[in-house]
Amino acid sequence: MKCTQKTWFYKEYGPKEVLQFGDFPMPSPKSDQVLVQVKASALNPIDFKMRQRPIVPTPLPVVPGCDMAGVVVGSGDGVSKFRIGDEVYGNIQDFHGELKQLGTLAQYIVVEESLVAMKPPNLTFEEAASLPLALQTAVEGFKTAKFKAGQTVFVVGGAGGVGSLAVQLANNVFGASKVAATCSTKKVEFVKSLGAEVVVDYTQQGYHQILEKFDFIFDTIGDTNKSYVVAKEEGAVVDITWPPSNPRAVISSLVVSGDGLARLHPYILSGKLKPIIDLTSPYDFDRVPEAFAYLETGRAWGKVVISSISS
């Protein structure tokens, strides 16, 4: 096997201009890891936030990226769940302790078999790559809120990567009695199509103008300093950004698990959970800086996805 591969990486923290394209060492799987040829990856806000400043200690240079879908091409001695040729997907970073130096904007990655799942056969590699981190984040939000079937939920940022999945989860997995969500004017019909009964155009209406109160406020954009006012007195307020912008809000602790993804496969196979990919995607691998620039505008619909580099 070759000693190096092509990746995007950075040797210093800063704006997208610090990204470089070039050679990076080829990884070797440990006893509990699989070697995956990446067929598609997806970008998340954490990817550019970690590039901008050292949020979590990681040795430089760093290849960014958490989400991927690909094909198993090698494995360590202790691997039992996957075989060569299996199509898998997952979030390769468990966010406990030091993060992996080699992220998913690469031709090949290594990842613990416990963090990945078999790719649902009805999804393309691009669709599968768009799901893991956002889906895990959305699920943990509901768990943190101790959400119960029949309760109401208000999703702040219903068109984003996490928000678009939270709306679907509320309706089709967690049994919400009413789902409301915020978005900009041009995204109102899109968010309604995801299952939001009430859609608030934040460019036209402020939180204080919303008279109804909700059991669960799921803030995916870090606006809890304002959005908490639509919560019932005893309602849960969860913010996925750090630190939460309001003392009442709590942040969900992300659990990264391949088994967690697998448990949602029936909903994916039935179409009750659909990947939402921005219309600008997928970006070719040589356009990664352009993809980051777009993601950082905050205007993406769903996820920004990157196609694989040709081997």
Q: 36 pLDDT exceeds 90?
A: yes
> Mean pLDDT across the stretch 294-304?
95
> Mean pLDDT across the stretch 46-57?
89
Neighbours of 75 (CB within 10 A): 23
Predicted confidence at residue 220, as pLDDT, reads 95
- The proportion of the chain whose per-residue pLDDT surpasses 90, expressed as a percent, equals 90
Predicted confidence at residue 234, as pLDDT, reads 95
Q: 311 pLDDT exceeds 60?
A: no
Return the closest-CA partner of residue 111 out of 141, 59, 71, 53. Answer: 71
For the segment 204-223, what is each residue's pLDDT rounded down to a tens digit? Answer: 999 999 999 999 999 999 99
- The proportion of the chain whose per-residue pLDDT surpasses 70, expressed as a percent, equals 99
Predicted confidence at residue 144, as pLDDT, reads 96
For the segment 103-140, what is each residue's pLDDT rounded down to a tens digit? Answer: 999 999 999 999 999 999 999 999 999 999 999 999 99
Q: Which two tokens stand for residue 145?
A: 């809120």
Residue pair 71/37 in contact (Cβ under 8 Å)? The answer is yes
**pLDDT mean across residues, the chain:** 95
Q: Which two tokens stand for residue 272?
A: 């009750």
Cis peptide before 247 (omega within 30 of 0): no
Q: 152 pLDDT exceeds 90?
A: yes
Predicted confidence at residue 158, as pLDDT, reads 97
**Strand pairing partners for 9?**
20
The structure tokens 């009695």 sit at: 177
Predicted confidence at residue 84, as pLDDT, reads 98
Compute the residue count for the chain: 311
Residue pair 71/85 in contact (Cβ under 8 Å)? The answer is yes
Helix or strand run (H / E) with residue 75? strand 67-75
Predicted confidence at residue 76, as pLDDT, reads 95
> What 3-state class would DSSP assign to 109?
strand
Looking only at the bridges linking them, the beta strands covering 108-112 and 116-118 are: unpaired
Q: 27 pLDDT exceeds 70?
A: yes
Domain boundaries, the chain: 4-131+275-307, 134-239
Return the closest-CA partner of residue 217 out of 200, 205, 203. Answer: 200
Cα–Cα dist 132/30, whole Å: 22
Of the given ranges (1-5, 130-134, 278-282), which has the lowest mean pLDDT? Answer: 1-5
The structure tokens 């990655």 sit at: 109
Q: 289 pLDDT exceeds 90?
A: yes
For the segment 65-88, what is each residue's pLDDT rounded down to a tens digit? Answer: 999 999 999 999 999 999 999 999
Residue 206, CA distances (Å) to 45, 160, 202 in order: 25, 19, 6
The structure tokens 């659990």 sit at: 255
Predicted confidence at residue 213, as pLDDT, reads 98
| Tally of CA atoms within 13 A in the half-sphere of 10 that contains its CB | 21
* CATH code of the region 134-239: 3.40.50.720
Q: What is the full DSSP assignment across 174-224?
A: S--SEEEEEE-GGGHHHHHHHT-SEEEETTT--GGG----EEEEEESSS-H
Q: Give 1's pLDDT tier (boundaries 50, 70, 90).
A: low
For the segment 233-253, what is each residue's pLDDT rounded down to a tens digit? Answer: 999 999 998 888 888 899 887
> Mean pLDDT across the stretch 152-159?
98
Q: Which two tokens stand for residue 77?
A: 């001695």
Q: Exposure string (b/e) for 116-143, b if CB count within 10 Å is 16 or more?
A: bbbbbeebbbbbbbbbbbbbbbbbbbbe
Q: Which two tokens stand for residue 190?
A: 């899109």
Residue 120, amino acid: P
Map 3-36 to HEC letters. CEEEEEEECCCCCHHHCEEEEEECCCCCCCEEEE
What homologous superfamily is domain 4-131+275-307 in, according to CATH?
A: Medium-chain alcohol dehydrogenases, catalytic domain (3.90.180.10)
Q: Which two tokens stand for residue 52?
A: 């901008």
Is 0.85 topped by the overall pTM? yes
